[in-house]
A and B are shown apart, each in its own frame.
Chain A
């Protein structure tokens, strides 16, 4: 288990009187004990925002996940509602960014999935904005990254999967199954290809969700590992340079993963609307 591997890298004497574990739960040992300890996965712990740190997490409990998702919603509101308040013909900076995002996703949906997919534009734009802002907000130090959790990305991906499948059958009926029957291939190969196509179709939500959660989680864990080395005087300069470099990479990843998730949604939607190869 990664946990064991990482948690056991606690070098140096850990003081017997348990070190102060603050509400955020980050490793305070390094500061006090002078030892080296890695807890790169602690940043992903879901904990109640109010009350005791150890209180049980019910489905309705307001947690750090709630906070950072709510901040993402607020950012969306600020960008797309507050910034466009002026409805200017010549846009302000904020309005210009909002229009850019709108135009970007609108064009992507139209180009990739076709004009008839524009009905789903609000849905796809919602996914894009949520993932984008959740990813970017997660890069604030001490924040929580909702999109690093497979529970979150799996729901996003399954929602896309279910929507696409339902739309495919409603719009094309049984012709939707043509998607799996590659009519351009030789007849003998078609059953084999059909099996492969069906498997790849059902693997979609898995890859769709794990790609996002995995890359966000890995990036943040690596950041924490590099940061952990900063406690060692010898390694500190290298580790700080590493943190800066990885952070830059993560900024890129945050945007790219939002883009990838969105464009894959469009590709899947295109399959549902036009299932012919």
Chain B
């Protein structure tokens, strides 16, 4: 086999026990002790590098960001709590203002109602008075008219009686006619 790789492999020596001349693994590569030192060295280097990156750069930064976020969140929560309390205060104030306004409105309405009622009562009373006055006046007139009428009836009756007596040829005695008419009118 005149493959250049194979030549190199044979010259290399150390890999001869783990890798065949054609480049295939002999046995488990995991058990090749010629590679242990290399892997362990680079592993420790990698771990050291990661540890360095974490402790110097990443962890302080991420930790700070998380702490800052926690702080921001709790601040925001406190602010939200504060705002909520303010909102509740405003709500209370609003409710009390609303209640006051409602009471005030009721009071105004009641006052207005009372005033109107008083006016109405006064007007009714006035009207009642006027009606009573007019009624009394009317009744007086009626009484007067009635009295006048009765007197006229008596007078007419006396005149009629005298005329009738004269027409019958009698001599009318004023006094007896009057007395007779009066007694009949009263009796009627």
Show the binding face of A for B, using Cβ within 8 Å: 1-3, 7, 18-19, 21, 25, 27, 39, 41-42, 44-47, 52-61, 63, 65-66, 69-70, 72-73, 76-77, 80-81, 84, 87-89, 91, 95, 98-99, 102-103, 121-123, 125-127, 129-130, 146, 148-152, 155-156, 213, 217
CA distance A25 to B62 in the complex (A): 42
Q: Decide if B41 touches A59 in the complex (CB within 8 Å).
A: yes
B interface bracket (residues with beta carbon within 8 Å of A): 35 or more
Q: For the complex, is B47 an interface residue (Cβ under 8 Å from A)?
A: yes
Cα distance, A87 to B6, chains bound together (Å): 54
Docked CA distance A96–B79 (Å): 25
For residue A91, which residues in chain B have a CB less than 8 angstroms away from its CB? 65
A54 and B16 alpha carbons, distance in the complex (Å): 9
By a CB distance below 8 angstroms, the chain A residues around B61 are: 81, 84, 87
State the CA gap A7–B28 with chains docked (Å).
12
SS class, residues of chain B in contact with chain A: helix
16 contacts between A and B (CB under 8 A): A46-B29, A47-B15, A55-B12, A65-B42, A69-B45, A73-B49, A76-B53, A81-B53, A84-B65, A89-B69, A99-B62, A125-B59, A130-B46, A146-B39, A149-B39, A151-B40
Is B12 touching A122 in the complex (CB atoms < 8 A)? no
Tell me the complex Cα distance, A214–B121, Å: 109
Also in contact, A42 and B38, with CB within 8 A (given A69-B43, A126-B47): no
Q: Is the CB of B25 within 8 A of A42?
A: yes
Smallest Cβ-Cβ distance to A16: which chain B residue? B1
> Interface digits, B54-91 against A, CB 8 Å rule (1 contact, 0 not)?
11011101111110110010000000000000000000
Contact A18–B22 (Cβ < 8 Å)? yes
Are B28 and A44 in touch, CB under 8 angstroms? yes
| Contact partners of B59 in chain A: CB under 8 A | 102, 121-122, 125
Contacts of B58 in A (CB 8 A): 76, 80-81, 84, 98
User: Would A57 and B19 be within 8 Å (CB), given that A18-B6, A39-B25 are in contact?
Assistant: no
Least distance between A28 CB and chain B CB atoms (Å): 9
- Most chain B CB atoms below 10 A, which of A89, A98, A149, A155: A149
**Does B24 have its Cβ within 8 Å of any Cβ on chain A?**
yes
Q: Name the prevailing secondary structure of the A interface residues.
A: helix
User: Is B11 an interface residue when CB atoms closer than 8 A count as contact?
Assistant: yes
Query: Please, which residue of chain B has its CB at the minimum distance from the CB of A86?
Result: B65
What does the 1/0 interface line of B6-49 toward A look like (CB < 8 Å)? 10111111110011001111111111101111111111111101
**Could you tell me the distance between the alpha carbons of A146 and B38 in the complex, rounded to whole angstroms?**
11
Check B43–A155 contact: CB distance below 8 A: yes
Residue in B12, B32, B35, B46 whose beta carbon sits within 8 Å of that of A73 in the complex = B46
**Which residues of A are found within 8 Å of B94, using beta-carbon distances?**
none
Instruction: List residues of chain B with CB within 8 A of the CB of A58.
Output: 37-38
| Chain A residues within an 8 Å CB radius of B30 | 44, 148-151, 213, 217
Please give me the residue from chain A that is nearest to B45 by CB atom: A69
Contact yes or no, B28 A2, CB < 8 A: yes
In the complex, the answer to whether A122 meets B55 with C-beta atoms within 8 Å is yes
The one of B14, B37, B62, B69 in contact with A80, judged by C-beta atoms closer than 8 angstroms, is: B62
The contact of A42 among B23, B50, B64, by CB within 8 Å, is B23
Chain A residue contacts of B15, Cβ below 8 A = 47, 54, 56-57
